[in-house]
Structure 1
Amino acid sequence: MNVIRVTLSCAAAVLLVTIGTPATAQPDVNTVSERTVEVTRLAFRPATIRIQIGDTVTWMFDGNSGEHNVTATGPSTALDYFASETMSGGSYSHTFGRPGTYMYRCTEHPSATGQVIVR
């Protein structure tokens, strides 16, 4: 009988520790609190970033791949327009105040596109 009580007590303790310990989820590369987008050559990295309302995204221009910019395109411009100057180095930041999917591109290199998803 004592063996059964000890076994049940140990099982209960393990269950409490397991339930009380939050699981460590593997973060989605594009949804972690990373709010920086690299502007390199003809691409934005990551091309899609997910953020919360009120978060700021900073685009970092690497300075080694010519001049680029970040310009909002599509329907999202009615919600929250943003556009950087054309530059070869430095950074540009924008704070997103409304939920939505914000498409953008480099007007110097129209194939360089990205999106910010705000929830």
Structure 2
Amino acid sequence: MDFEGCDASVFLDADAYTDSENESPPNQSLQGFDVIETIKSKLEEACPGVVSCADILVLAARDCVALVGGPFYRLNTGRRGGSNSFSDIATFELPLSFGDLSETIAPLHPSKQGGSMKGR
């Protein structure tokens, strides 16, 4: 399965041609961009061009889960960071932050047609 949007493209800024995913309504509640950007900056100083924001994001999420008493688990790294950010896709395919659980997980269900989750 291929999950579009798991490439940290939400970290890309808008340009003259497209709006950024981080400007779409479902992503307005996201926080912590500065933390990930600080980590990325430090890693770029030590090993330029090696670690993607996508890897930083999943590793940071995993470590935060472990810090609050959740499980620590191994992760494969080597994700490529996104090079395109599409606000319109995020707006129409991501659940809003105020939805209930069923509304939040519905877009992730494999049977959803036309969503961001595609079988290969």
Give the TM-score normalised by the residue count of structure 2: 0.19
Which gives a bigger RCO, structure 1 or 2 (Cα 8 Å, sep 6+)? 2
Q: Which has the larger radius of gyration?
A: 1
